[in-house]
Structure 1
Amino acid sequence: MQRAGNGISPCFRKTTLKNGVRVLSERIPSVRSVSVGAWVAAGSRDERAEERGISHFIEHMVFKGTRKRRMHHIARRMESVGGYLNAFTAKEYTCYYARALDEHLARAIDTVCDLILFPTLPEKEIEKEKGVILEEMKMYEDNPEELVFDRFESVVYDGHALGAPVIGYPQTVQSFDREMLCDYMRSHYVPDRVVLVVAGNADHDDIVRMAGDMLGGMPIAERPIRRAPVNGYVPHDFVESRPIQQAHFVMGARGLSVRNEDRVAFSVLNTLLGGGMSSRLNQNVREKYGFCYNIGSFANMHSDSGDFGVYAASDVRKMERVKKLIRKELRYFVEVPIGSRTLNEAKNQLRGAMMLGLEGMSNRMMGIGRQELYFGRYLTLDEISDAIGKVTVEDVQRVASMLFKGDQLSTAALVPEG
């Protein structure tokens, strides 16, 4: 085993097993719980066109049984000791996680590792789960507030896997069989893509020993899978009529990757634009004119690309006026340097949200997992806070000038029928 230096944090340690699996922990002796996550660097962007939705489908299927446990045993495994077990799939990774009292650390590690190592993927359950996923798709189709973001991503990443919904499409999901699932897992669930993270009251050496017993035998991939780079961006608009009462729309464009040196300034800018009740969008669109109930901005950052935008819901007769106001706010950040007091308030808001979010062990575990997958190292709170503190008025205006170009904006809209 290769052990990382310990100069980063007295509470954080990292060990790499001989086969490439990374084991990370942050010990918090003051709590009586642990949060365990088995991360796999495989998500919907890693799928071929005919595989759309397979990462998410596998995330569901591993709970249907493993070599060691039947489906109902898995369901009771953590709940029977007061814990919790779940998973989620994103664009670039999948995470299987458990929460429990610290005395059940071994059970939590064994459970999440068992899911990614030894799922049986029974054919009968595959066919049943197709029906479940199709119903999940219908649920999203009935929720325009979520659906419009899928439509926006299909516009911004047109023709690329990042533009496809994580859940996939009915025709691809219905085509899945056990051989497809096994092939995908053999290619993507490999040691150098697996990260085990534990946050809470747990000893790192104990974690490494348990991880070695479970994950140390994972075979190394013969042919590493490389992700397709993002394609070019051509701004365009999308409008779809649906049986709804309000118009839901997203206006935005390609943004910055999570590794871009301007990512922190971008986050501060996003906070100023639409990050809460005091943001310019909320104050100057909702409060000043009363044109909408929901309005806010977002910034999605992936390993080599990203996107940003503004979401709003309004009466369709007011939609064009809301769009005009949004463009006005975007131009404001390009043309007008923000005041130092306003900047400091936004930085404090961003710092506070980060600190408050890390009070729970699950959020700590999630943060460590994402940092390892994207940066290959642990970013301390002081390091992140210092980076936020260094953002200047000039940084914010420069990033706004780079991204908030009117002719580069795309819009995805769901509007009422008729």
Structure 2
Amino acid sequence: MLRKLPEGILKRLGLLSLILALGVTAGRAGSLGTDFQYAVLDNGFRVVLVPRPSSSVVASIVVVGAGLRYETVETNGLSHFLEHLLFNGTEKRTQKELYDEMDLIGGYNNANTGPDYTNFMVLAPTEHISTALDIQADMLFHSTLPPGKLEKERGIVLREIDKDRDQPDAQADRLFKALLFEGTPYAWPILGPRELIASIPREPVYQYYKTYYVPNNMTALIIGNFDTDEMLKLVREKFGRVPPKTVPRLQPVQPRVPSQDRLFKRRFTTKQITLHLGALGGRPVLPDFYAYELATQLLASEEGDWSLSRFLHQRFGGAVVDVSVQYDFHPELTALQVQVTLDTSADVQAVWDATRDFLRKVGEKPISRRELDALRLTLRTAEVLDGERPHHLGILKAPYLAVFGPSILSDYWPGMDAVTPVGVQRAWRQWMAKAHFTGLAAGPLRAGGPSQVSGRKEPEMRVLPNGLTVIVQQDPGAPIFAAHVLVKGRLLVEPPGKDGISILLHELLPRGTRAHPGESFRRALDEIGARVQDTDSPWIPFDDYYTQPDFSFVRFECLDEYRQS
């Protein structure tokens, strides 16, 4: 749910960038450690205040305990669904009034969903922050989830899900997470299953909202130009009047940790091969957490003995296109995630073996104090630059607040600075000694030996005796069968006085056929997991290609093994 920043805000942020470039030192501005105040309101609402006198704007980022970790099989996807729904009206503001009032003050209002939280942010000029906070609190505590708007947002989320399904890279990433985090909510898609989002009624969504959107399940990080005493008073006024509620206790996460390394392969029609590799770790515990943060950054760097990218490029040359390394942390588990993009000429098995071997042995390689200090300075500088956009800094800090709480903001840099080179080596060897890797190779693979292009053929066109033009595009590596039907000249063939009758025809298509009348048509589709798209969504402005003036369009998709059905 990303929106562009208003012009006035951009100008103010630009001024702040200039001020920082001219003289703010990295030590104080880069660390929130000595700059913030922390308070807990009587209703349990936690607030962290970070004054920045040089700024002309204020950002409020509210981290809500609502994400994959809080969901069940029956509610998977509701955290993200609610992120959308809370922009659609409250007890005292319509959707239009929410948008108009924020626009009137030159503010910015947005949100994003993570695995352990949902993040709501407002950004406004200092003189208008009271209005912005009032809108934010109104949305968080008093949204009404209007039924008509619910259907609109349902359509938008379904479109997001369909878009992900149409992107092989997104499919591969989702499959890898399902394998790596098997047995936990983190194996599920943040967007949720299409079938659930398409059919879930308003009541369970509203109950989820009332269960987790309570003040004692929220933390606000407020950054900008303000007096801390006045801001705390304002926060109490806007967020402190809602009573707390008991938040359900979460069931322990119990991942299915593999007993040995395992590599899965999945064919996708892509131009490159992606090798995903990951290993689970235990609960993030301080101070080892800081050592793992630094170790992962060393692995992700372009230079140095710990650089995975340098090692793979030296070993496999141009067959390696890109390498990324990520340290993923949640309240009860951590994970190392590596993604290696390969040319189709690469020997996937050899890259898999070499990557695992490097990760297991790299802890033996010495790290100089100078190298570690340079890395810390780089990370601290990046935080200074992120501080130029306070709402962006809040987004980056949200995972830390969700997992560790506000204390991490004061503990982080002292903890990072206390880590020694030997400490990084020790922590990494300790993890790798008992780690088992899960891998997924996705792309134009061929069973056995080095992967090759899957043999996609040139399209063929034929005209059948009845005049139907058929274009066939074969791809042996694709797991999907799709049939697209295009009817030309829609407006030209519609009878006089019956404009739009083809749209009505599209609406009637799901009602059944001669062979499968009524509900039997839908059941027949469900039996083979097929889906038919025949109408535009009225809730999505850009979804308008099924009934254009020049043509009508119908799409049918199923797994290739069921194409004869």
1:244 positional shift: 1.5
Displacement, 1:187?
1.3
Report SS of the residue matched to 1:64: coil
Task: Look up the match of 2:290.
Answer: 264
1:226 aligned to 2:249? yes
Q: What do you get for the CA RMSD once the two structures are aligned?
A: 2.5
| 2:269 aligned partner | 243
Provide closer, same or farther for how the CA distance between residues 372 and 323 of structure 1 changes in structure 2, counting only shifts above 3 A.
closer
Query: What is the SS of the residue equivalent to 2:121?
Result: strand
Amino acid at match of 1:86: N
Distance 1:70 1:145, change over 3 A: same
For residues 196-226 of structure 1, the C-alpha deviation after alignment (integer angstroms, 9 at most, x for no partner) is: 32110122333333333333232322x4311
Aligned partners of 2:401 and 2:408 also within 8 Å: no
Match of 1:253 in 2: 279
Q: How big is the shift at 1:110? A: 1.1
Select the residue among 399, 403, 408 that pairs with 2:431. Answer: 403
1:352 to 365, 372, 381: 381
Please give the residue correspondences for 1:2-401 in structure 2 after superposition, counting only pairs within 5 Å: 11-221=35-245, 223-235=246-258, 236-276=262-302, 280-286=307-313, 289-318=317-346, 319-366=348-395, 370-379=399-408, 383-401=411-429
Amino acid at match of 2:335: D
TM-score, length basis structure 2: 0.67
Answer whether contact 2:302 2:310 (CA < 8 A) is retained: no
Max radius of gyration: which structure?
A: 2
CA contact (8 A) 1:130 1:174 kept: yes
The percent of aligned pairs where both chains have the same amino acid is 27
Q: How far, CA to CA, are the matches of 1:155 and 1:361 in structure 2?
A: 36
Change (3 A) 1:356 1:183: same
Deviation for aligned residue 1:405: 4.8
Aligned counterparts of 1:286 and 1:147: Cα–Cα separation in 2: 26
Alpha carbons 1:144, 1:248 under 8 Å: kept: no
Measured at CA, do residues 239 and 70 of structure 1 come closer, stay the same or move farther in structure 2, by a change above 3 Å?
farther
Q: CA deviation at 1:162?
A: 1.6
Query: What is the distance in 2 between the residues matched to 1:291 and 1:406?
Result: 30
Structure 1 residue 130, shift from structure 2 partner = 1.9
Indicate how the Cα distance of structure 1 residues 350 and 233 shifts in structure 2: closer, same or farther if over 3 A, else same.
farther
Tell whether the 8 Å contact from 2:265 to 2:440 is kept in structure 1 after alignment: yes
Task: Give me the whole-angstrom Cα distance separating, in 2, the residues matched to 1:388 and 1:29.
Answer: 27
Query: Tell me, what secondary structure is at the counterpart of 1:294?
Result: strand
Q: Deviation of residue 190 (structure 1)? A: 1.6
TM-score normalized by structure 1? 0.89
Structure 2 distance, partners of 1:348, 1:216, is 39
1:284 aligned partner, one-letter code: F
Where do 5+ consecutive residues of structure 2 fail to align? 1-31, 445-453, 455-476, 478-565
> Residues 371 and 269 from structure 1, CA distance in 2 versus in 1: closer, same or farther, beyond 3 angstroms?
closer
Structure 1 residue 17, shift from structure 2 partner? 1.9
Deviation readout 1:148-196 (Å, 9 max, x if unpaired): 3322221122121121111111122123221111111121112210223
Alignment-mate amino acid for residue 228 of structure 1: Q
Conserved in 2, the CA contact under 8 Å of 1:195 and 1:369?
no
Greater helix share, structure number: 1
Structure 2 CA distance for partners of 1:283 and 1:10, relative to 1, 3 Å: closer
Separation in 2, partners of 1:309, 1:375: 21
Offset at 1:286?
3.1
Quote the offset at 1:243 in angstroms: 2.0
Q: Is the 8 A contact 1:155 1:237 kept in 2?
A: no
| Cα deviation digits, residues 238-267 of structure 1 (max 9, x gap) | 332222121112101113544443111101
**Structure possessing the higher relative contact order (Cα contacts under 8 Å, 6 or more residues apart):** 1
CA contact (8 A) 1:137 1:167 kept: yes
Kindly indicate whether the alpha-carbon contact (under 8 Å) linking 2:356 and 2:437 is maintained by their aligned counterparts in 1.
no
Q: 2-side partners of 1:248 and 1:35: how far apart?
A: 38
Count of matched residue positions in the alignment of Structure 1 and Structure 2: 409
